[in-house]
Structure 1
Amino acid sequence: MNKSLRNPLVFTLFILPALLLFLIFFIYPIFSSLYYSLTSWNGVSDTVKFTGLNNFEKALGDDRFWISVKNNGWFILFSVFIQVPLIVLFSLLIANVKKLKGLYKTAVFMPSIMSTAVIGILWGFIYEPNIGLFNKVLGVVGIEPVYWLSDERFAMLSILITNAWQWTGFYIVMVLAAILSIPGELDEAAAIDGATGFQRATRITLPLIVPIISVVIMLSIAGAMKAADIVIVMTKGGPAGSTEVMATYMIKYAITNFKYGYGNAIAVLIFMFTLVVTALYQLLFARRNERIEY
């Protein structure tokens, strides 16, 4: 069997199906999108007019596109500096729970398996100006109702909170798995030496789960760059484009306005921006924390 696997022909036959799927569903769409990004096409007619880099020049010169880029940046910043610390905190708390640990893990994971449409509608009721939960609480302390989704000052923050609520549980399960895989002898030895729970968490547990935290950050960045569904459900990019992200900007032009060539140019820019951001993170931070030895 080992001799057969060393045969280049046999090896090629084994990887060929996966390679074909990769070419069909990944490589071909990328080059197809790149081709159409250089054209003026409505996505329906047989006429495809080559326009060179005009679509990219138009996008980079459009203020609304840069607003969408900025909003994707807010997604990244919120995920990295607010959501990830909360993920680590809740993971540490759940890991130290003695009873009903499975219940807590299931409870935090539930939002991740719910439809984004359901979550958007649910939080839409929570943000509702007249009967929403948030404004009811604010009314108790005498604060006037806040128009969470129709006020430019609060709309983006409202979406960020909702998106974080949906995906925090998914990442908690990942970090929790890493915490529970740490040998118990390390924690027990530290406790015998007199280390407090806080000291054990910060000096033993956190350094040992840095690789999985790095993965969570990278996945959060990638997810922030392709965020679209929660924005479409809750605000459709409004009010006045203040919650537009690159993906919704692309959808608006490629599908709604039948500017398929321009939409593909936006898709290429999203791909390039995501590649640059994740590559910078990998080069500057992630590679330093790839492996931890117990």
Structure 2
Amino acid sequence: MNQALRNPLTYFLFLLPALVLFIAFFIYPVIVAIYYSFTNWNGFANYKFIGFDNYIRVMSKADFWASVKNNGFFILFSCFIQVPLIIFFSLLISNVKRLRGLYKTAVFMPSVMSTAVIGILWGFIYDPDVGLLNKILGVFGIDPIMWLSDEKWAMIAILITNAWQWTGFYIVMVLAAILSIPKELDEAAMIDGATGIQRALKITVPLIMPIVSVVIMLSIAGAMKAADIIIVMTKGGPAGSTDVMTTYMMKHSIASFKYGYGYSISVLIFIFTLLITLAYQFLIARRAERIEY
């Protein structure tokens, strides 16, 4: 047995199934996408190579760059609004002595719900006539807002709905990191006279920064592939104001059988995502050092 484990071939055989799946479902599709992005393939007939024409067409479209900007809104909202709220609510729940499991289940519930259900639910909340949100605003004398049909508010409504769906998932991750911190550190700070806010800012938050870094990375990845909630709630409208790169690709390529054009958009999405994640890793994530207690 020991001799078999010393043989590199043994480790290769164990890795082979995962390697085959990785090549089949990741490497191969990426290569195919890059290949067809240089063609005018419509999904059925023969095709010919057209060089960078698809990329030039995509990058010359103002509505494509508008969709890129909307992806940027997703990223900024996730990093600067959603993540601080995640940390805040995680700290609150970690200090609850009773029914902590109930709170964890309650905040996690939206994450396991279907996006279609969430989209329909929030569609009722945003309804301009009978929606709960406008009813609350009406109490304060504010006129009804057309949340999903006004270009000024539609993207904000989408961002809030998307955050509501996924915040609980990340809270559970951060909460697990908080609860793994040795209680002795917090007790020692209490003896030294530190307040709850001081303990949270000076001890808890710095110690959970590695998991917060992971949460930010997952939020960026989720923001770059966001599409389902937009399709359910606005279909990219009004007037394309809520389109992101993925929905733009679906509307301007797949629906019209311009698969070569669509592949070029998918390659651009891959490149943008790769550049953003690499920039985050090198500029920010590497500063979140490994914490050992």
Report the TM-score, using the length of structure 1 for normalisation: 0.98
Give the superposition deviation at 1:11.
2.0
Distance 2:24 2:170 in 1: 30
Question: 1:13 is matched with which residue?
Answer: 13
Q: Deviations over 1:76-131 (max 9, x none)?
A: 00000000000000000000001000000000000000000000000000000000
Q: Deviations over 1:166-203 (max 9, x none)?
A: 00000000000000000011001111111111111010
Correspondence 1:249-268 to 2 at 5 A: 249-268=248-267
Question: 2:223 is matched with which residue?
Answer: 224
Question: 2:271 is matched with which residue?
Answer: 272
Amino acid in the other structure paired with 1:22 = F
Correspondence 1:3-42 to 2 at 5 A: 3-42=3-42
Distance 1:12 1:80 in 2: 39
Correspondence 1:1-294 to 2 at 5 A: 1-45=1-45, 47-294=46-293
Q: Percent identity, please.
A: 72
Distance 2:272 2:247 in 1: 15
Give the superposition deviation at 1:72.
0.1
Amino acid in the other structure paired with 1:141 = F
Give the superposition deviation at 1:281.
0.3
Unmatched 5+ stretches in structure 1: none
Distance 2:189 2:3 in 1: 50
Secondary structure at the counterpart of residue 161 of structure 1 = helix
Secondary structure at the counterpart of residue 152 of structure 2 = coil
Give the superposition deviation at 1:3.
2.2
Amino acid in the other structure paired with 1:9 = L
Distance 1:6 1:44 in 2: 51
Give the paired residue count: 293
Q: Is the 8 A contact 1:237 1:248 kept in 2?
A: yes
Distance 2:218 2:130 in 1: 35
Distance 1:257 1:230 in 2: 22
Let me know the Cα RMSD of the aligned residues: 0.8
Secondary structure at the counterpart of residue 150 of structure 1 = coil
Distance 2:67 2:216 in 1: 21
Distance 2:69 2:2 in 1: 54
Further displaced range: 48-57 or 250-259: 250-259
Deviation >3 Å, runs of 4+: none
Give the superposition deviation at 1:257.
1.0
Q: Deviations over 1:11-36 (max 9, x none)?
A: 22111111111110000000000001
Secondary structure at the counterpart of residue 251 of structure 1 = helix
Secondary structure at the counterpart of residue 39 of structure 1 = coil
Secondary structure at the counterpart of residue 240 of structure 2 = coil
Give the superposition deviation at 1:42.
1.0
Secondary structure at the counterpart of residue 166 of structure 2 = helix
Amino acid in the other structure paired with 1:252 = K
Amino acid in the other structure paired with 2:127 = E
Distance 1:260 1:2 in 2: 53
Distance 2:252 2:37 in 1: 12
Distance 1:280 1:2 in 2: 43
Unmatched 5+ stretches in structure 2: none
Q: Is the 8 A contact 1:253 1:260 kept in 2?
A: no
Report the TM-score, using the length of structure 2 for normalisation: 0.99
Give the superposition deviation at 1:9.
2.1
Give the superposition deviation at 1:290.
3.5
Distance 1:6 1:166 in 2: 48
